[in-house]
Amino acid sequence: MSAPITPEFIRAIPKTDLHVHLDGSLRIPTLIELADQDGIPLPATDEAGLKEKVFKPHYASLPEYLQGFAYTCAVMQKAENIQRIAYELAQDNLEEGVRYVEVRFAPQLHCHDEFQLADVVRAVADGMDQAKDEHNRSEPVKNGTDIPFEYGIIVCALRSFNEHMSDYYRKLLSLMSYARKKEVFATASLEIARAGVAMAQKEGIPVVAFDLAGEEAGYPADDHREAFGYAHKHFLRKTVHAGEAYGPESIFQAITDCHANRIGHGTFLFAHEMIQNPMIEDPEKYTRLLAEYIASQRIAIEVNLTSNLQTTPSIKSVAEHPIRQMLDHNLSISICTDNRLVSNTTVSQELELLVSEIPITRQQLRNIVISGFKGSFYPGSYNEKRRYVRQMINRYESLERELLG
Protein backbone atom coordinates (compact mmCIF):
# COMPACT_ATOMS: atom_id res chain seq x y z
CA MET A 1 0.00 0.00 0.00
CA SER A 2 1.38 3.43 -0.93
CA ALA A 3 2.12 5.97 1.79
CA PRO A 4 -0.65 8.52 2.49
CA ILE A 5 -0.40 12.06 1.17
CA THR A 6 1.02 14.22 3.95
CA PRO A 7 0.86 17.97 4.64
CA GLU A 8 4.66 18.00 4.47
CA PHE A 9 4.54 16.61 0.94
CA ILE A 10 1.81 19.04 -0.18
CA ARG A 11 3.78 21.98 1.14
CA ALA A 12 7.03 20.84 -0.51
CA ILE A 13 5.79 20.14 -4.03
CA PRO A 14 5.82 22.87 -6.70
CA LYS A 15 2.34 24.32 -7.08
CA THR A 16 0.42 26.98 -8.98
CA ASP A 17 -2.20 29.56 -8.10
CA LEU A 18 -4.06 30.55 -11.26
CA HIS A 19 -6.88 32.42 -9.53
CA VAL A 20 -5.73 34.84 -6.85
CA HIS A 21 -6.92 38.43 -6.48
CA LEU A 22 -4.23 40.89 -5.44
CA ASP A 23 -6.64 43.11 -3.51
CA GLY A 24 -7.92 40.10 -1.57
CA SER A 25 -4.49 38.80 -0.61
CA LEU A 26 -2.72 41.43 1.47
CA ARG A 27 -0.93 40.69 4.72
CA ILE A 28 -2.97 42.14 7.59
CA PRO A 29 0.07 43.87 9.21
CA THR A 30 0.78 45.53 5.87
CA LEU A 31 -2.83 46.67 5.55
CA ILE A 32 -2.70 48.17 9.05
CA GLU A 33 0.63 49.90 8.40
CA LEU A 34 -0.38 51.36 5.03
CA ALA A 35 -3.78 52.51 6.33
CA ASP A 36 -2.09 54.31 9.22
CA GLN A 37 0.49 55.83 6.89
CA ASP A 38 -2.16 57.11 4.45
CA GLY A 39 -4.73 58.18 7.06
CA ILE A 40 -7.32 55.56 6.12
CA PRO A 41 -9.60 54.51 9.01
CA LEU A 42 -10.06 50.79 9.64
CA PRO A 43 -12.72 49.05 11.79
CA ALA A 44 -9.86 47.85 14.02
CA THR A 45 -6.17 48.67 14.26
CA ASP A 46 -4.88 45.26 15.26
CA GLU A 47 -4.85 41.88 13.52
CA ALA A 48 -7.20 40.17 15.99
CA GLY A 49 -9.73 42.96 15.68
CA LEU A 50 -9.73 42.90 11.89
CA LYS A 51 -10.14 39.13 11.88
CA GLU A 52 -13.11 39.47 14.20
CA LYS A 53 -14.82 42.32 12.37
CA VAL A 54 -13.82 42.01 8.71
CA PHE A 55 -11.72 39.01 7.64
CA LYS A 56 -13.72 36.26 9.31
CA PRO A 57 -13.46 32.48 9.25
CA HIS A 58 -17.08 32.36 8.09
CA TYR A 59 -19.29 34.87 6.27
CA ALA A 60 -23.06 35.14 6.27
CA SER A 61 -23.26 36.20 2.63
CA LEU A 62 -21.28 37.27 -0.43
CA PRO A 63 -21.78 40.99 0.38
CA GLU A 64 -20.23 40.40 3.81
CA TYR A 65 -17.35 38.53 2.17
CA LEU A 66 -16.75 41.51 -0.12
CA GLN A 67 -16.71 44.17 2.63
CA GLY A 68 -12.99 43.82 3.22
CA PHE A 69 -12.13 44.90 -0.31
CA ALA A 70 -13.17 48.47 0.49
CA TYR A 71 -10.26 48.65 2.96
CA THR A 72 -7.68 46.83 0.87
CA CYS A 73 -8.42 48.87 -2.25
CA ALA A 74 -8.19 52.07 -0.21
CA VAL A 75 -4.49 51.43 0.51
CA MET A 76 -3.80 50.44 -3.11
CA GLN A 77 -3.79 53.90 -4.65
CA LYS A 78 -0.01 54.40 -4.86
CA ALA A 79 2.67 52.67 -6.89
CA GLU A 80 4.89 52.00 -3.89
CA ASN A 81 2.03 50.43 -1.93
CA ILE A 82 0.96 48.16 -4.79
CA GLN A 83 4.55 47.16 -5.54
CA ARG A 84 5.05 46.14 -1.92
CA ILE A 85 1.77 44.21 -1.80
CA ALA A 86 2.65 42.34 -5.00
CA TYR A 87 6.14 41.55 -3.70
CA GLU A 88 4.75 40.20 -0.44
CA LEU A 89 2.17 38.11 -2.29
CA ALA A 90 4.96 36.50 -4.32
CA GLN A 91 7.01 35.93 -1.16
CA ASP A 92 4.06 34.28 0.60
CA ASN A 93 3.55 31.97 -2.36
CA LEU A 94 7.23 31.09 -2.57
CA GLU A 95 7.35 30.28 1.13
CA GLU A 96 4.69 27.55 0.73
CA GLY A 97 6.11 26.02 -2.43
CA VAL A 98 4.06 27.83 -5.09
CA ARG A 99 6.27 28.34 -8.12
CA TYR A 100 3.85 29.80 -10.66
CA VAL A 101 1.26 32.52 -9.95
CA GLU A 102 -1.19 34.39 -12.12
CA VAL A 103 -2.12 37.43 -10.09
CA ARG A 104 -5.32 39.19 -11.13
CA PHE A 105 -6.69 42.62 -10.31
CA ALA A 106 -8.88 45.37 -11.77
CA PRO A 107 -6.49 48.27 -12.51
CA GLN A 108 -9.36 50.74 -12.81
CA LEU A 109 -10.11 50.29 -9.10
CA HIS A 110 -6.79 51.97 -8.34
CA CYS A 111 -6.68 54.71 -10.98
CA HIS A 112 -6.82 58.45 -10.40
CA ASP A 113 -5.26 61.57 -11.94
CA GLU A 114 -1.78 60.86 -10.59
CA PHE A 115 -1.92 57.09 -11.08
CA GLN A 116 -2.98 55.83 -14.47
CA LEU A 117 -4.02 52.36 -15.59
CA ALA A 118 -0.60 51.42 -16.97
CA ASP A 119 1.08 52.67 -13.79
CA VAL A 120 -0.97 50.19 -11.74
CA VAL A 121 0.04 47.25 -13.91
CA ARG A 122 3.71 48.26 -13.90
CA ALA A 123 3.71 48.54 -10.11
CA VAL A 124 2.42 44.97 -9.79
CA ALA A 125 5.01 43.72 -12.28
CA ASP A 126 7.79 45.53 -10.39
CA GLY A 127 6.83 43.84 -7.13
CA MET A 128 6.52 40.39 -8.68
CA ASP A 129 9.80 40.84 -10.57
CA GLN A 130 11.64 41.72 -7.37
CA ALA A 131 10.56 38.49 -5.69
CA LYS A 132 11.17 36.48 -8.86
CA ASP A 133 14.71 37.78 -9.26
CA GLU A 134 15.56 37.04 -5.63
CA HIS A 135 14.31 33.46 -5.85
CA ASN A 136 15.74 32.68 -9.26
CA ARG A 137 19.22 33.83 -8.17
CA SER A 138 19.10 31.50 -5.16
CA GLU A 139 21.44 28.54 -4.84
CA PRO A 140 18.70 25.85 -4.92
CA VAL A 141 17.52 27.11 -8.32
CA LYS A 142 21.08 27.34 -9.62
CA ASN A 143 21.97 23.79 -8.53
CA GLY A 144 18.69 22.31 -9.75
CA THR A 145 17.17 21.33 -6.39
CA ASP A 146 14.38 23.87 -6.90
CA ILE A 147 12.61 25.28 -9.94
CA PRO A 148 12.37 28.94 -10.96
CA PHE A 149 9.47 31.16 -9.96
CA GLU A 150 7.39 32.52 -12.82
CA TYR A 151 4.26 34.66 -12.93
CA GLY A 152 1.67 36.16 -15.21
CA ILE A 153 -0.67 39.14 -14.79
CA ILE A 154 -4.40 38.90 -15.47
CA VAL A 155 -6.19 42.23 -15.89
CA CYS A 156 -9.81 42.19 -14.75
CA ALA A 157 -12.82 44.04 -16.03
CA LEU A 158 -15.94 44.26 -13.87
CA ARG A 159 -19.42 43.22 -14.98
CA SER A 160 -20.74 46.32 -13.20
CA PHE A 161 -19.49 49.15 -11.00
CA ASN A 162 -20.61 52.40 -9.40
CA GLU A 163 -19.15 55.85 -8.78
CA HIS A 164 -18.10 54.99 -5.23
CA MET A 165 -15.70 52.23 -6.26
CA SER A 166 -12.96 54.43 -7.74
CA ASP A 167 -12.20 57.85 -9.17
CA TYR A 168 -11.85 56.26 -12.61
CA TYR A 169 -15.34 54.76 -12.51
CA ARG A 170 -16.84 57.98 -11.16
CA LYS A 171 -15.42 60.01 -14.04
CA LEU A 172 -16.42 57.47 -16.68
CA LEU A 173 -19.99 57.31 -15.41
CA SER A 174 -20.12 61.11 -15.45
CA LEU A 175 -18.68 61.38 -18.97
CA MET A 176 -21.15 58.78 -20.26
CA SER A 177 -24.12 59.98 -18.23
CA TYR A 178 -26.51 59.64 -21.20
CA ALA A 179 -25.42 56.12 -22.08
CA ARG A 180 -27.02 52.99 -20.75
CA LYS A 181 -25.14 51.56 -17.78
CA LYS A 182 -24.21 48.39 -19.63
CA GLU A 183 -22.60 50.52 -22.35
CA VAL A 184 -20.47 52.26 -19.72
CA PHE A 185 -19.43 48.91 -18.26
CA ALA A 186 -18.56 47.63 -21.73
CA THR A 187 -16.48 50.73 -22.48
CA ALA A 188 -14.40 50.23 -19.35
CA SER A 189 -13.87 46.57 -20.27
CA LEU A 190 -12.70 47.40 -23.77
CA GLU A 191 -10.19 49.89 -22.38
CA ILE A 192 -8.76 47.21 -20.08
CA ALA A 193 -8.49 44.73 -22.94
CA ARG A 194 -6.69 47.28 -25.11
CA ALA A 195 -4.31 48.16 -22.29
CA GLY A 196 -3.57 44.51 -21.59
CA VAL A 197 -2.72 43.80 -25.20
CA ALA A 198 -0.55 46.90 -25.53
CA MET A 199 1.41 46.25 -22.36
CA ALA A 200 2.00 42.61 -23.27
CA GLN A 201 2.99 43.19 -26.88
CA LYS A 202 4.70 46.59 -26.78
CA GLU A 203 6.16 46.81 -23.28
CA GLY A 204 6.93 43.17 -22.64
CA ILE A 205 5.04 43.15 -19.33
CA PRO A 206 3.72 39.60 -18.71
CA VAL A 207 0.04 40.41 -19.04
CA VAL A 208 -1.19 36.95 -19.98
CA ALA A 209 -4.98 37.21 -19.88
CA PHE A 210 -8.13 39.28 -19.67
CA ASP A 211 -10.78 38.46 -17.06
CA LEU A 212 -14.33 39.45 -16.21
CA ALA A 213 -15.41 39.46 -12.57
CA GLY A 214 -18.41 40.59 -10.55
CA GLU A 215 -22.06 39.74 -10.09
CA GLU A 216 -23.37 37.40 -12.79
CA ALA A 217 -27.13 37.72 -12.33
CA GLY A 218 -28.36 40.68 -14.36
CA TYR A 219 -24.93 41.44 -15.81
CA PRO A 220 -24.26 38.90 -18.57
CA ALA A 221 -20.79 38.38 -19.96
CA ASP A 222 -22.26 38.95 -23.43
CA ASP A 223 -22.39 42.69 -22.65
CA HIS A 224 -18.59 42.62 -22.78
CA ARG A 225 -18.36 40.76 -26.08
CA GLU A 226 -16.40 43.56 -27.82
CA ALA A 227 -13.68 43.55 -25.16
CA PHE A 228 -13.32 39.79 -25.32
CA GLY A 229 -13.31 39.92 -29.10
CA TYR A 230 -10.47 42.43 -29.01
CA ALA A 231 -8.46 40.28 -26.61
CA HIS A 232 -9.16 37.19 -28.73
CA LYS A 233 -8.08 38.83 -31.98
CA HIS A 234 -4.85 40.02 -30.36
CA PHE A 235 -3.83 36.66 -28.88
CA LEU A 236 -4.52 37.58 -25.25
CA ARG A 237 -5.94 34.63 -23.35
CA LYS A 238 -9.34 34.87 -21.66
CA THR A 239 -10.75 33.68 -18.36
CA VAL A 240 -14.19 34.49 -17.00
CA HIS A 241 -15.72 34.30 -13.52
CA ALA A 242 -18.69 32.12 -14.41
CA GLY A 243 -20.88 29.61 -12.67
CA GLU A 244 -19.89 31.14 -9.33
CA ALA A 245 -23.40 32.28 -8.44
CA TYR A 246 -25.29 31.46 -11.63
CA GLY A 247 -25.97 28.29 -13.57
CA PRO A 248 -24.54 26.45 -16.59
CA GLU A 249 -25.84 29.08 -19.02
CA SER A 250 -23.32 31.59 -17.66
CA ILE A 251 -20.46 29.15 -18.28
CA PHE A 252 -21.76 28.38 -21.79
CA GLN A 253 -21.88 32.10 -22.57
CA ALA A 254 -18.33 32.61 -21.29
CA ILE A 255 -17.08 29.92 -23.65
CA THR A 256 -19.14 30.69 -26.75
CA ASP A 257 -19.45 34.48 -26.65
CA CYS A 258 -16.25 35.38 -24.79
CA HIS A 259 -13.87 32.70 -26.12
CA ALA A 260 -12.91 31.71 -22.56
CA ASN A 261 -9.80 29.53 -22.33
CA ARG A 262 -10.46 28.93 -18.63
CA ILE A 263 -13.40 29.30 -16.26
CA GLY A 264 -13.10 30.94 -12.86
CA HIS A 265 -15.00 28.92 -10.23
CA GLY A 266 -17.47 26.97 -12.42
CA THR A 267 -19.20 25.99 -9.19
CA PHE A 268 -22.65 25.47 -10.67
CA LEU A 269 -21.55 23.71 -13.86
CA PHE A 270 -23.70 20.67 -13.05
CA ALA A 271 -26.69 22.55 -11.60
CA HIS A 272 -29.17 21.85 -14.40
CA GLU A 273 -32.01 22.97 -12.11
CA MET A 274 -30.66 26.54 -12.32
CA ILE A 275 -31.15 26.80 -16.09
CA GLN A 276 -33.66 29.55 -16.88
CA ASN A 277 -33.78 29.67 -20.68
CA PRO A 278 -37.15 28.15 -21.72
CA MET A 279 -35.64 27.30 -25.12
CA ILE A 280 -33.50 24.64 -23.43
CA GLU A 281 -35.93 21.73 -23.48
CA ASP A 282 -33.73 19.20 -21.67
CA PRO A 283 -31.61 20.95 -18.98
CA GLU A 284 -29.95 17.72 -17.84
CA LYS A 285 -28.81 16.88 -21.38
CA TYR A 286 -27.64 20.48 -21.90
CA THR A 287 -25.53 20.30 -18.74
CA ARG A 288 -24.10 16.91 -19.65
CA LEU A 289 -23.10 18.11 -23.12
CA LEU A 290 -21.56 21.28 -21.68
CA ALA A 291 -19.42 19.27 -19.24
CA GLU A 292 -18.32 16.93 -22.03
CA TYR A 293 -17.39 19.88 -24.24
CA ILE A 294 -15.34 21.49 -21.47
CA ALA A 295 -13.58 18.19 -20.80
CA SER A 296 -12.80 17.44 -24.45
CA GLN A 297 -11.53 20.95 -25.17
CA ARG A 298 -9.44 20.96 -21.98
CA ILE A 299 -10.95 24.24 -20.84
CA ALA A 300 -9.50 24.41 -17.35
CA ILE A 301 -11.57 25.30 -14.29
CA GLU A 302 -10.05 27.39 -11.51
CA VAL A 303 -11.49 25.81 -8.35
CA ASN A 304 -11.63 27.77 -5.09
CA LEU A 305 -12.91 25.48 -2.34
CA THR A 306 -12.75 27.65 0.78
CA SER A 307 -14.05 30.72 -1.02
CA ASN A 308 -17.01 28.76 -2.40
CA LEU A 309 -17.83 27.38 1.05
CA GLN A 310 -17.75 30.90 2.48
CA THR A 311 -19.95 32.54 -0.15
CA THR A 312 -22.33 29.75 -1.19
CA PRO A 313 -24.64 28.73 1.68
CA SER A 314 -26.01 25.77 -0.27
CA ILE A 315 -22.55 24.13 -0.23
CA LYS A 316 -21.93 23.16 3.37
CA SER A 317 -18.82 21.02 2.97
CA VAL A 318 -16.18 20.00 0.44
CA ALA A 319 -18.05 16.69 0.13
CA GLU A 320 -20.99 18.69 -1.30
CA HIS A 321 -18.78 20.71 -3.64
CA PRO A 322 -18.98 19.75 -7.33
CA ILE A 323 -15.23 19.11 -7.46
CA ARG A 324 -16.02 15.40 -7.06
CA GLN A 325 -18.15 15.55 -10.22
CA MET A 326 -15.42 17.53 -11.97
CA LEU A 327 -12.92 14.79 -11.19
CA ASP A 328 -15.36 12.07 -12.26
CA HIS A 329 -15.78 13.86 -15.62
CA ASN A 330 -11.99 14.13 -16.01
CA LEU A 331 -12.15 17.90 -16.24
CA SER A 332 -8.91 19.84 -16.18
CA ILE A 333 -8.95 21.59 -12.80
CA SER A 334 -6.49 23.63 -10.76
CA ILE A 335 -6.79 24.33 -7.05
CA CYS A 336 -6.61 28.05 -6.26
CA THR A 337 -7.04 30.41 -3.31
CA ASP A 338 -9.19 33.19 -4.79
CA ASN A 339 -8.27 35.52 -1.91
CA ARG A 340 -5.55 34.54 0.52
CA LEU A 341 -6.53 37.19 3.08
CA VAL A 342 -10.31 37.29 2.76
CA SER A 343 -10.57 33.49 2.73
CA ASN A 344 -7.67 33.06 5.17
CA THR A 345 -6.10 30.31 3.08
CA THR A 346 -3.09 29.16 1.05
CA VAL A 347 -2.70 26.80 -1.88
CA SER A 348 -1.29 24.17 0.49
CA GLN A 349 -4.32 24.51 2.77
CA GLU A 350 -6.68 24.16 -0.19
CA LEU A 351 -4.94 20.97 -1.32
CA GLU A 352 -4.92 19.60 2.22
CA LEU A 353 -8.65 20.34 2.47
CA LEU A 354 -9.26 18.46 -0.77
CA VAL A 355 -7.18 15.45 0.27
CA SER A 356 -8.77 15.25 3.73
CA GLU A 357 -12.38 15.68 2.62
CA ILE A 358 -12.51 13.81 -0.69
CA PRO A 359 -10.49 10.62 -0.97
CA ILE A 360 -8.19 11.05 -3.94
CA THR A 361 -5.27 8.92 -5.01
CA ARG A 362 -1.67 10.04 -5.29
CA GLN A 363 -2.07 9.86 -9.07
CA GLN A 364 -5.11 12.15 -8.95
CA LEU A 365 -3.24 14.67 -6.83
CA ARG A 366 -0.33 14.55 -9.26
CA ASN A 367 -2.70 15.15 -12.17
CA ILE A 368 -4.34 18.11 -10.43
CA VAL A 369 -1.01 19.77 -9.62
CA ILE A 370 0.35 19.21 -13.12
CA SER A 371 -2.91 20.54 -14.59
CA GLY A 372 -2.21 23.82 -12.86
CA PHE A 373 1.06 24.19 -14.73
CA LYS A 374 -0.27 22.89 -18.03
CA GLY A 375 -3.40 25.04 -17.83
CA SER A 376 -1.44 28.19 -17.06
CA PHE A 377 -1.15 31.13 -19.44
CA TYR A 378 2.64 30.95 -19.20
CA PRO A 379 4.14 34.21 -20.52
CA GLY A 380 6.95 32.58 -22.53
CA SER A 381 6.82 30.50 -25.69
CA TYR A 382 5.09 27.15 -25.86
CA ASN A 383 8.42 25.35 -25.98
CA GLU A 384 9.61 27.28 -22.92
CA LYS A 385 6.41 26.31 -21.13
CA ARG A 386 6.96 22.63 -21.97
CA ARG A 387 10.47 22.76 -20.55
CA TYR A 388 9.18 24.48 -17.40
CA VAL A 389 6.45 21.86 -16.92
CA ARG A 390 9.06 19.12 -17.34
CA GLN A 391 11.20 20.76 -14.64
CA MET A 392 8.16 20.83 -12.39
CA ILE A 393 7.32 17.15 -13.01
CA ASN A 394 10.90 16.09 -12.33
CA ARG A 395 10.89 18.01 -9.05
CA TYR A 396 7.49 16.59 -8.06
CA GLU A 397 8.59 13.02 -8.72
CA SER A 398 11.81 13.53 -6.78
CA LEU A 399 9.87 14.80 -3.74
CA GLU A 400 7.37 11.97 -4.06
CA ARG A 401 10.16 9.38 -3.86
CA GLU A 402 11.82 11.24 -0.98
CA LEU A 403 8.76 11.99 1.16
CA LEU A 404 6.22 9.30 0.28
CA GLY A 405 8.37 6.41 -0.92
Residue 330: partners with Cβ closer than 8 Å, 6 or more residues away: 295
State the Cα–Cα distance between residues 182 and 218, nearest whole angstrom. 10
Distance CA 22, CA 66 (A): 14
Residues 9 and 362: their CA atoms lie apart, in Å, by: 11
- Give just the sign of the alpha carbon dihedral 41, 44, 46, 48: negative
CB atoms within 10 A of CB 228: 25
Rounded to whole angstroms, how far apart are CA atoms 160 and 215? 7
Catalytic positions, please?
A: 244
In the chain, the N- to C-terminal Cα span, in Å, equals 11
